[in-house]
Structure formats: C-alpha cells, structure tokens
Copies of this chain bind each other. A is one copy, B any other.
Amino acid sequence: MKCRICKREARVALKSHNTAFCETCFLDFFGRQVSRGIESQGLLTHDDRVLVALSGGKDSLGLILELARQGYQVTGLHLDLGIPKSSQLAREAVEAFCAQEHLPLLVRELAREGLAIPRVKAALRRPICSACGIIKRYYLNKVAIDEGFTVLATGHNLDDEVARLFSNTLRWDTCYLGKQSPLLAQEGGFVRKVKPLWRLTEYETAAYAFLRNINIHYAPCPYSAGASFSVLKGLMQRLERHMPGRKIDFYQGFLKRGRPAFANDARQELLHPCSQCGYPTSAESLCQVCRIREQVAEYGEKAAL
C-alpha cells in the first residue's frame, strides 16, 4: 500500500479514515489531528501554562511530546502511586523520557501523603479503582493550582472517550452525558481540564509512540483486571471493524447533537471548601480524599494494636 500523500511505501493503515500513510506523513497527520482537536474545542492557547499528567503510558508521553513540538509551554506531572514494581517502572519510564526530551517534570509521591495505593487498598477493603481515581484527580488538580498552571492536560484518547460515552449512554446517565467533553472549564477550585488526543484512537497513539521511539511503560496496574470498561472498549472495536469511522462519528455526533440535549442535566452541585484541606467538595464537611485519609489512619491505628 502507498502513502496517500507522498506515494512512498505506507507504514500505517487507517481504516476509519480509509487511508494509509508513510512515517513522515503519519506524524504530520497525527499533529494535525491534535491541533484540530485543540482548536475546534478551544482547549489550549500558546499562552497557557500546561501541566500534562504523565502515567508513563503511550498516550500521556505522546501527548506531552506532541504539545511541546507544537510550541505549547508544557510541564509533566507524574504521581508515584507507590504500587510495588508497577509504580517504580512507570516512574523510571517517565523520568528517563523527560530527561531525554528535556521536558520539565514534577513528581509527587502518594506515599509522602500517607496515601500509597496498596495502603489505601488495605484500609478500604473495597475495589480500589474508584478511590485511586479520586486520589489521582485530587492531586493532579492540587498541583496544577498550587504551582500556578492554567490548565491540566490528560492523555485520554478517542477509545477512552468513546467507551465512557457508551457507558454513560447505556445507563442514560443524563448528568454525565451533559458534562462529558474534551474540555472541562475552570470553575471554583478546579483548574481547566483538557483531553487534546480526543480525535485519535489507541492504535494511532500507539503508532505515534512507536514511530517517535518513545519507551513506554508496559507494566499494567495489578489491581485493574477485568474492568467493565474493557468490555465496552472491545465492543466499540468490533463495531469499528465492521463499520470503519463509526467511533469518531459517534463521539462527534454526541458533541454536536447529543450533549446539548442534556446540558440542563449536568449536575450543578453546590460546592464548598473541605473543612480540612480546602478542596472544593459537595460533601457536608470533609472532601472524599480527607475521608479516605481518615479511614487509612483508623486502619493504621487498628493494625498497631
């Protein structure tokens, strides 16, 4: 197969776009999709100070690299979750990558906050994924605000977004449907949050990472097996195989025609500062993270008895 642009040998075939590209033209295509995703939804400007959440995977490392190449002012933030092996490998991948690419990097360790994920898991005695997500969102937001960033960018790709949309639609969760977007505006104690890779599939971000020689972090989280999200992702992959282009159409159609219908349902919660840490929360006094912190402390005291 030939590259659609320059007619050299193609290296990446894109069925959903009914096309194929050589290495150079694919990297151009990728860059154009990122700019289009940013500009069409007003995600970023070149004046923004952008904090990029770096897990160590292909999406987040590809994102910070492409944003840097496009001249955005980026700094990486890695949260070290304190999970044996997995977290160490992730941190090493992020640190090596940022050093190699001369990208500024902040690292925060959940263990220093008393919230290493294995400890939280032991204390909560319920599935950890939801609590882990709460803690990560809390610290990503907190560091962005404390360090004066104007926006937090995450590496969620089209497959992530489409699986979430599918999940929200199957439940007709009108609150979440009214809010789902590549852009969450700055509000109260929350920094603006953006997903510049929303137009690109997992296959495309993987191809980008491969062609840019990004050493990604392969060790999956040992706690996340069998999540229902992966079932939904698998179904959307099957759909795409049978009907190429359906994933991006589903998501774009939602942004244009679906979400507006649910705009009034987007939860307008009354938020006030957590009595302990000041983080915006809809709870009576303590925010979710401070409550988790209390449970971990109680668990520690019991274990010490």
Q: Which residues of A line the B interface, CB within 8 A?
A: 169-172, 174, 228, 231-232, 235, 238-239, 242-243, 246, 249-250, 253-254, 256-258, 261-262, 265
Contact = CB atoms under 8 A, between A and B. Distances in A.
Contacts of A169: 169, 250, 258
Given A174-B261, A261-B174, A261-B261, A243 B231 contact: yes
B239 A231 contact: yes
Contacts of A261: 174, 261-262, 265
A243 B242 CA distance: 22
A231 B250 CA distance: 16
Contact of A238 (B238, B254, B262): B238
A269 B262 CA distance: 24
A265 B261 CA distance: 10
Nearest to A255: B172
Nearest to A172: B253
**Chain A contact residues: helix, strand, loop or mixed:** helix
A162 to B, nearest CB: 10
B235 A239 contact: yes
A174 B257 CA distance: 7
> Chain copies in the assembly?
2
A250 B170 contact: yes
Q: Which 5 A-B pairs have the closest CB atoms?
A: A172-B253, A261-B261, A172-B257, A172-B258, A231-B242
Given A170-B249, A171-B249, A249-B170, A243 B257 contact: no
A107 to B, nearest CB: 38
A235 B262 CA distance: 26
A71 to B, nearest CB: 34
Give the most central of A228, A243, A256, A261: most B CB within 10 Å.
A261
A265 B246 CA distance: 22
Nearest to A263: B261
Given A261-B261, A261-B262, A262-B261, A171 B253 contact: yes
Nearest to A264: B261
Nearest to A238: B235
A256 B262 CA distance: 13
A159 to B, nearest CB: 15
Contacts of A250: 169-172
A246 B167 CA distance: 10
Contacts of A238: 235, 238
A238 to B, nearest CB: 6
A171 to B, nearest CB: 6
A228 B238 CA distance: 13
